[in-house]
Copies of this chain bind each other. A is one copy, B any other.
Amino acid sequence: MINKTVANVQVACEGIQDSMTFMLGGFGLSGIPENSIAELVRRNVKNVTCISNNAGVDDFGLGLLLQKKQIKKMISSYVGENAEFERQMLSGELEVELIPQGTLAQRCQAAQSGIPAFYTPAGYGTEVAEGKEAREYNGKMHILEEAFKADFGFIKAWKGDAAGNLIFKGTARNFNPNMCGAAKITVAEVEELVPVGTLDPNQIHIPGIFVQRIFQGSTYEKRIEQLTVRKRS
């Protein structure tokens, strides 16, 4: 077994530099790598490009990096929950590339899989297709999209082991598995680092080969963005 454990988030983030491209898992505030984001803020790394479905809210998630103007460019599918984001974008301080959510997921998975490019129907006939090759398959137009290239991927999982094997929980899974192994270095933080051999090999969502560094995360806030409940009858 190849041991991927590192002592803490500081060690996990070694090698991070200004102007790098990061991938960050999560959908909304669910399944985001809270510890790694905190460390990126602490290190005050600048001019970074972030590939992440959303951009957090004003005071949580990637919003924390936006506040400190650490982000040069965001590549996302939906950024509607963040006023500071909108301000920086409309003022031109922040470069933004909006892409379809499925294309975002697939461009991550393509990077993970060594597939440099693929055709998808999403975005044909829209701004998203500008400058891209288009081709008809099965009577429908498709555009050619390329795999992402990133330096670090920051992943949040539920459970993991020293071999780097990961299991996710509920809809906190989202983009996290697709980003594993899609960047040069994949850093995984887990709620629970369990002894090797305790995870059922049938139930591992991401085998450790896709993960370079894993650490036990701490003090997850797991903020809820839209609390919607029913009254008990």
Taking Cβ atoms with an 8 Å cutoff, the residues of A that contact B are 106, 110, 113-121, 135, 137-138, 142, 146, 167-170, 201-203
Name A's interface SS: mixed
Provide the residues of chain B in CB contact with A116, threshold 8 Å. Answer: 119, 137-138, 142
Known: A202-B168, A202-B170. A119 touches B121 (CB 8 A): no
Interface centre among A113, A115, A121, A137 (most CB of B within 10 A): A115
- Which 7 A-B pairs rank lowest in CB-CB distance, beginning with the nearest? A116-B137, A118-B118, A117-B119, A203-B203, A115-B118, A116-B119, A116-B142
Number of copies: 2
Provide the residues of chain B in CB contact with A135, threshold 8 Å. Answer: 117
Provide the residues of chain B in CB contact with A106, threshold 8 Å. Answer: 113, 115
From A168, which residue of chain B is reached at the shortest CB distance? B202
**Complex CA distance for A115 and B168, rounded to whole angstroms:** 26
Known: A167-B202, A170-B202, A203-B203. A117 touches B114 (CB 8 A): no
Q: Are A121 and B114 in contact (CB under 8 A)?
A: yes
**Complex CA distance for A203 and B114, rounded to whole angstroms:** 26
Provide the residues of chain B in CB contact with A203, threshold 8 Å. Answer: 202-203
Closest Cβ of chain B: how far from A53's Cβ, in Å?
Answer: 18
Known A106-B115, A115-B120; 6 more pairs at CB < 8 Å: A106-B113, A114-B121, A115-B119, A116-B119, A169-B202, A203-B203
Interface centre among A106, A113, A202 (most CB of B within 10 A): A202
Interface centre among A113, A118, A170 (most CB of B within 10 A): A118
**Complex CA distance for A203 and B201, rounded to whole angstroms:** 11
From A167, which residue of chain B is reached at the shortest CB distance? B202
Provide the residues of chain B in CB contact with A113, threshold 8 Å. Answer: 106
**Complex CA distance for A135 and B135, rounded to whole angstroms:** 16
Provide the residues of chain B in CB contact with A201, threshold 8 Å. Answer: 170
Closest Cβ of chain B: how far from A205's Cβ, in Å?
Answer: 8
From A118, which residue of chain B is reached at the shortest CB distance? B118
From A120, which residue of chain B is reached at the shortest CB distance? B115
**Complex CA distance for A137 and B106, rounded to whole angstroms:** 17
Provide the residues of chain B in CB contact with A114, threshold 8 Å. Answer: 120-121
Q: Are B120 and A137 in contact (CB under 8 A)?
A: no
Provide the residues of chain B in CB contact with A138, threshold 8 Å. Answer: 116
